[in-house]
Structure formats: structure tokens, C-alpha cells
Amino acid sequence: MQLSATYSQTWDLENIFSGGSESSTLVQHLEKLEHELPLLKKYIETLEPTASLASWVDAIQPLQKLGSGLVEARSFLDCLESQNVKDEKAKVLSGKLTQIGATYEAVITALESKVARVPESDWQQLMKSPELNQVSFSLNEMRKRSLEKLPPAQEELAGDLSVDGYHAWSEMYSTIVGRMQVPFEEGGETKLLSVGQLANKMASPDREVRQRVFEKWEEAWRNEADLCAVTINHLAGYRLQLYKRRQWENVLKEPLDLNRMEGQTLQTMWDVVAKNKHRLLPYMKRKAEMLGVDQLSWHDVQAPLPGNKQTLSYDEAAKFIIEQFEQFSPDMASFAQMAFEKRWIEAEDRPGKRPGGFMTDFPISGESRIFMTFSGTPGCVSTLAHELGHAYHTYVMKDLPFLAQQYAMNVAETASTFAEVIVIDAAIKQATSKEEKMVLLADKIQSTIAFLMDIHSRFLFETRFYEKRKQGPLTRDELCELMVEAQKEGFADMLAEYHPHFWASKLHFYATDMPFYNFPYTFGYLFSAGIYARALQEGAGFATKYVDLLRDTASMTVEELGKRHLGVDLTQPDFWQDAMDLLMADVDEFLALTEA
Ligand SMILES: [Zn+2]
């Protein structure tokens, strides 16, 4: 492969705030936020329900400016803490920013209760005004949210109590996990591993190692199951009690609202998943044969198939990604090229960095940054494309008002998966050997299995657990039973062994900022597959439609997005079925490739 450029693998943060965690401009920026937020809160508290348009604008414009300022600082500090986990100054500033963020939440709560009291006809007039029209979706949400909640004083009390009575359970969980140490023998030596280290070993290509890791893993969580059971029961109990007070019958109300989707859409999506899951079974059978076992175990599902994967240098990966984006959208390609050239990406493989990858945006600068550690594997190339997909999403929205940029998790994962799939499919098509093609296809199908089977089982467990929890706490054994039952259904009874203590081992069940941290992933994956199917049909012309869709992701519900930009009804199965058919074509290709 010919190289056209040499890109730096470290990012440039200087133009955001110069001087890293020593930055005096950052300190000034934080002081300004700290000073202005309480003033805005006071101003909002004086607003009358019949206040003039100008008075409302005087609240909502500064709110957006301060919101952007908070995100700008948060992103910067996340970048500092990720590039160097020992940056103590950044940690201190980050703690300070969290406090400032709490004041911002209080400002939002104050505004919510104010907008709820505006008479309906006045409200309609305000929303039609050119000053507020672009953010009307978000303001309508605030108004609706406030009407569905308890009176402001009670919500404020609940908010104050949640610090130690709700979020504290999530912290408790982190404490339990953080002190866990698991003895594991390797090369004749027994070492104490953290759960993160042990989890990484589950991806070993050696089945004997995986089997041992899996046994140790289950045992480690069994030992902590009492504490985890107390934690999950109380966390859920708090949530249910608050919902009951607000008269929210359905536990899915909050996560559905946060993801701006209807329950019917979610139901239809899962129905289509359940109906099509059996099409993954031939892949699982073939994989079992290739591993020399009768049936896959839990730890085999995501295990790599034996075979060589081609590695790429960073420059080769950049070139490959830009070329593949170009096929679909020249605009997306030139965006990616700019991100490489302007050093928006931190990819260097060096010690002291945080694991994982993310994209974060700077609404004031109108830029974004990507963090990852690049080691040249196809997985790294996918991650890079994934994060560039997120970055492109924020890039096409950068001229919109702050409140019209705040898209939810389900559509965020749509843009990233879309970019990722473009690159993975190209890599599969261009694979030079049968073996390489097979390995890449298997990786892709395993993602499909994760979203359609694993995530489905988490969703089934969590909904059933919350229903039962309404009657009282569940014992650790009941939690395990419920988990295995959900896994059997999720994996269509195809596994030889299940993971009863998964409910204890999965952080997402203990997240308090986003309840039901599962179905938005599957939504994003299938929604992007449906969009990809459409892009393949429509060719080059689809790129502008895609940008229009992305720009609207924080200004309407997903059902409206589907209707306006794709002409589909997401509450009906057709769109989901098309997405499914596209994904299942990979299985057919894999089976043909590995015949005999
Ligand atoms: Zn993502």
C-alpha cells in the first residue's frame, strides 16, 4: 500500500485550552461558569408564567452558552485524564467541574418547573418564535417532563436524597468491583488479577484458558453475590419508589423518554429480533464444529476463530478509512482527513493511558477529539472508524444551538456503527485470502450476536427483574435463575453453559445516569444497518440525506426521524426486517466460505 501522508498519533489540545491541567484559561473558564450559573438560576426563579418572549430568551440563551461551556471543560478534562491517568491536577479540576455541573442541573430543574406553568396558548406562541423555534423540541421535552414529575419541592428533595440513597449504590458497586482480586494460575505461577485483567483473558484463542477463566470468573462473582444482590435490590427499589410516587407505571418510561422513542417501536424491534434469531444458529453450529465442540459455551461466543489477521500501520489505516468513506460520502472522507491532519486523534500505543476508546466534542470550539490506543489490528481500525462516525455526527451539527445538539445514546450509536460498517464491509470485500475473509466475517457476525442475543438477554433479565422487584427484594439465587432463564431465551437455547452471575458482573445494571443501558445499543446497531441498506440502494445521492437525518437527531423522536428522512414507520416490522436481512447475509457468506 502506498503512503500519501504521515499522520501524528498524538492529539493537539492546545487550541482548546493551552497548558493542559496547568492552563490558566481553563481556571478562568471554570470560575466564570461558577459565577454565572447561580445568577442565571436566580433570574429564572423570578420569571412569571406570562413573561415576555424576550425574558424567556434571556434565560434560554445563557443556559445554552453555559451548557456549552460545561461540555467544553468536561471534554477537555476527560482528554487530560485519559491521556495520562496520573494527572492529579486534572482530577482536582474534574471534581470541581462536577460540583459546577450540579448547579447546572439545578438551573435546568428550575427552568423545567417554570416552563411547565406557562399557559398552553402562550407556550405555542413562544415555540413558534424564530428565537426559540430551533430548540422547541428540547423545550417541549422540559415542559412535559416537569408535568410528569412531582411538585418541584418534592423533586428537589428526591434529587438531594438521591446522592446518598441512589447514586451511592452505584458507587458501592464500583467499590465492590474495585477491591476484587482473583487468583489465576498461568505458566506455573499464581497471580492476583483484577476483574478487568481476568475479563481480558476471556478473549484468549486458547479454549482451555477460556474455560479456566470462565470458571474463575463465575466463582469470583459468586463470592460477591450477597453484596451485589443487596446493591441491585436497593438501587432498583429506590428507582421504583420514585416512579411510584410520580405515578409512572412502566419501568421503561424513563429510558424510552431519554432515548426519545415509543414503547411500540422497542416492542416491534425485539419482536423482529426474536423472529429472526434462529438465522444465527447455523453460524453458531459451524463455529462449534470449527472449535471441535458439540455446542458453544458462554465463553466461546465472542472468542476469536483461529486464523491470521492482517495488521495495518496507523497511516495505512487512515488511508483505508478515508478511501472507504469516500465511496459513500466525499464530505465524510474530507472530514476524516481533516481530523487526521489537524491532530484531533490520540492513538499512540504507550503506557499511562486509559484503556478503551471514545469521542468527545467541544461545542464552543466546534471541534471534537478521539481517544484510543492503536495497535494495528482490524479491531483497532474498526474502533477508529467508529469514533470518526461519532465525530462526523457532531461535526455536521456544530452550527446548531446547543439544545438542538443533545442527541441520545440510541442515535449516537447509529452514526458510529454506520461508519464502522462501511469500513468493515470494505475490508471483508478486499480480503486477499479466504482465511482472512472468514476471520473478518466472523468478527462482524459476532457483533450481530452480541446485539441480538446477549443484549436481548440483558434486556429480558432487567425488565423481569424490575417487575418482580415491585413485590420485594430478590435473593441471589432468584437473581441467578432469572438471569439464566433470560440467557436461554436470548441465545435461543444454543449454549452448553450459561453465566448465572452475569447480573453481578455487568456494570450496566448498576448505572444510575442511564437506566436500561442495553436496548439503545441494539437500536443503534439495527437502525444503522437499515440506513446502510438504504445507502447501498440509493448510492451516492444518499450522503446528503444522511447528513439531514443526523442534523435532526436531537430535534425529534426516532419515529419522526424514520418517517421524515427514510419514509419508514419504526413501529412496524418492515424496516427492522430489512436491516435483519442485510445482517443475515453475512451468515450465508460465512457458511459458504467454510463449507466442508
Ligand atoms: Zn460508540
pLDDT for 316: 95
At which residue does the C-alpha cell 499522520 appear?
7
Residue 120: CB atoms within 10 A of its CB come to: 8
In this model, does residue 19 exceed pLDDT 70?
yes
Residues in the chain: 596
In angstroms, rounded to a whole number, what is the distance separating the alpha carbons of residues 347 and 274? 38
pLDDT for 5: 65
pLDDT grade for 157, boundaries at 50, 70 and 90:
confident
Distance 242 CA to ligand 1 centre (A): 30
Distance 1 CA to ligand 1 centre (A): 29
CB–CB of 317/380 below 8 Å? yes
Distance 546 CA to ligand 1 centre (A): 18
pLDDT (tens digit per residue) in 340-364: 999 999 999 988 888 888 999 999 9
Residue 457: CB atoms within 10 A of its CB come to: 22
Pull the grid cell for residue 494.
444454543
Distance 528 CA to ligand 1 centre (A): 12
pLDDT for 463: 97
pLDDT (tens digit per residue) in 435-486: 889 999 999 999 999 999 999 999 999 999 999 999 999 999 999 999 999 9
Distance 412 CA to ligand 1 centre (A): 7
Distance 386 CA to ligand 1 centre (A): 6
pLDDT for 513: 85
Pull the grid cell for residue 308.
491470521
Burial 202-238 (b: 16+ CB within 10 A, else e): bebeebebbebbbebbbebbeebbeebbebbbbbbbb
Distance 379 CA to ligand 1 centre (A): 14
**Mean predicted confidence (pLDDT) in 409-417:** 94
CB–CB of 252/269 below 8 Å? no
* 351, 353, 357, 359 alpha-carbon torsion, rounded to 10°: -140
Distance 39 CA to ligand 1 centre (A): 36
Distance 396 CA to ligand 1 centre (A): 17
pLDDT for 1: 41
pLDDT (tens digit per residue) in 533-556: 999 989 888 999 999 999 999 999
**Mean predicted confidence (pLDDT) in 31-51:** 97
pLDDT for 466: 98
pLDDT for 163: 83
Residues 6+ apart with CB under 8 A from 411: 524, 527, 553, 558, 561
Average pLDDT across the chain, whole number: 94
Residue 596: CB atoms within 10 A of its CB come to: 2
Give 400: exposed, middle or buried? Use CB within 10 Å, 0-12, 13-18, 19+: middle
SS3 17: coil
- List Cα–Cα distances, 441 to 305, 421, 524, 595, in angstroms: 10, 11, 20, 14
Distance 409 CA to ligand 1 centre (A): 9
Distance 473 CA to ligand 1 centre (A): 34
